Amino acid sequence: MFTQITLENLAVFRKLEWQPHKSLNLIIGENDTGKTHLLKTLYVIARSIEQYNKRKGQFQSESWGDRLANKLLWTFQPTNWELNTLISQSESKLKVEANFFNENLYFTLGKENTTTISNFSELNCQFPEFNALFIPAKEILTTFDAIAATREQLEIAGFDDTYYDLIKALRLPMTKGQIQPDLQALALKLDKMIEGKILVDKQSFIFKRAHEQYGMSQTAEGIKKIGILSSLIRNRLLKQGTILFIDEPETNLHPKLIIALVDTLFIMASMGISIYLATHSYFVLRRFEWLARKHNESIGLCSLSRTDKNGVIPNIYNLQDGMPSNPIIDVSLELYEQNVLLDFE
């Protein structure tokens, strides 16, 4: 779906070039190296195209640039609500280029672009059917009503579009049948992980385990995170052709569940779901490396690091070739060596 992305002067990135992309892609880096910015930029491009394709018959005067500007504003919620604040400090212009379904796309922002985009590529091709989903790091089911009220009644910043788009997706009713059989089996596997399932009862989410049920405030956050994936499969939004963006899926999960979730995401990628995942977790990284090597499958790794002269730069790897040196592995080995030395003191 994406095969290339180039960011120039976007936030912490002076210039980032990332290619090729795989069916499953990991993004790592220390804090403040732009992992979520990169994840959101990819999501904004994909989601704005998805929305534009759906709306172009109804709003003939709306361009992709209009939809893109709206998506950038509500996803990044920039300072003073001005798009040009996304431009790297001391720079005058931002440029993004991407290859998406073999279509070369671009847009630029200058100091004059506050709420609109004046320079962008025209969408002249017919894209294959796809949809984009973003699962943020923070759990949303407990704050579901607050997110809806903030965006739909008050129309104020606070919860960005990654949260709002997800609650709109989860509102869709779960259906029986008409689900990819292999994905249906995967949903059952997810339910087994948490020994229950997330359901909607009288417009509220509940967690049902055997004959007991619990409200979201009584349900562990890790359970809710896995339950969301199962729910998205059952309402037919997580399917072949989906581009799934996940920010720190390991948050609030025990290592045993982290491994099970990684295995599930690896299976999803083999079913035609494209995945982009940002992580800080040693367990996530090591398990994906093990899966890539065991099954001889490519898994892309974009490792971000900060430099003095060039801002944040990427190093691109394939976990099929083994684990490259990176801060997550380096710190883990350092801790291990400290414990070994302690035994000899």
Write 309-317 long-range contacts (CB < 8 A, 24+). Answer: 310/14, 310/15, 311/12, 311/13, 311/14, 311/15, 311/88, 312/12, 312/13, 312/14, 312/16, 312/29, 312/33, 312/34, 313/15, 313/16, 314/16, 314/17, 314/18, 316/18, 316/19
Query: CA angle at residue 85 from 136 to 146, to 5 degrees?
Result: 35
What's the Rg (C-alpha) of the chain? 21
Q: Where are the domains of the chain?
A: 2-130+241-343, 142-235
What is the β-pairing status of strands 13-18 and 93-100? unpaired
Q: What's the distance, Cα to Cα, between the start and end of the chain in Å?
A: 54
- pLDDT reported for residue 193: 93
- pLDDT reported for residue 330: 87
**pTM, whole model, 2 decimals?**
0.94
d(CA 22, CA 2): 8
- pLDDT reported for residue 126: 85
- pLDDT reported for residue 139: 87
Q: Give the residues across from 98 on adjacent strands.
A: 5, 105
Please, how many CA atoms are within 13 Å of residue 214, restricted to the half-sphere of its CB? 15
Domain 2-130+241-343 fold is Rossmann fold (3.40.50)
- Angle 255-270/221-234 helices, nearest 10 degrees? 20
3-state secondary structure the chain: CEEEEEEEEECCEEEEEECCCCCEEEEEECCCCCHHHHHHHHHHHHHHHHHHHHHCCCCCCCCHHHHHHHHHHHHHCCHHHCHHHHECCCCCEEEEEEEECCEEEEEEEECCCCCCCCEECCCCCCCCCCEEEEECCCCCCCCHHHHHHHHHHHCCCCCCHHHHHHHHHHHCCCCCCCCCHHHHHHHHHHHHHHCCEEEEECCEEEEEECCEEEEHHHCCHHHHHHHHHHHHHHCCCCCCCEEEEEECCCCCCCHHHHHHHHHHHHHHHHCCCEEEEECCCHHHHHHHHHHHHHHCCCCEEEEEEEECCCEEEEEEEEHHHCCCCCHHHHHHHHHHHHHHHHHCC
Residue of 183, 216, 177, 244 lying closest to 42 (CA atoms)? 244
**Which stretches of the chain drop beneath a pLDDT of 70?**
57-60, 175-177
- pLDDT reported for residue 200: 84
Do the beta carbons of residue 274 and residue 214 sit within 8 Å?
no
Query: pLDDT tens digits, residue range 168-190?
Result: 999 888 766 678 889 999 999 99
Could you tell me which residues come within 8 angstroms of residue 97 by beta carbon, excluding any fewer than 6 positions away? 4, 5, 6, 104, 105, 106
- pLDDT reported for residue 175: 67
- pLDDT reported for residue 58: 64
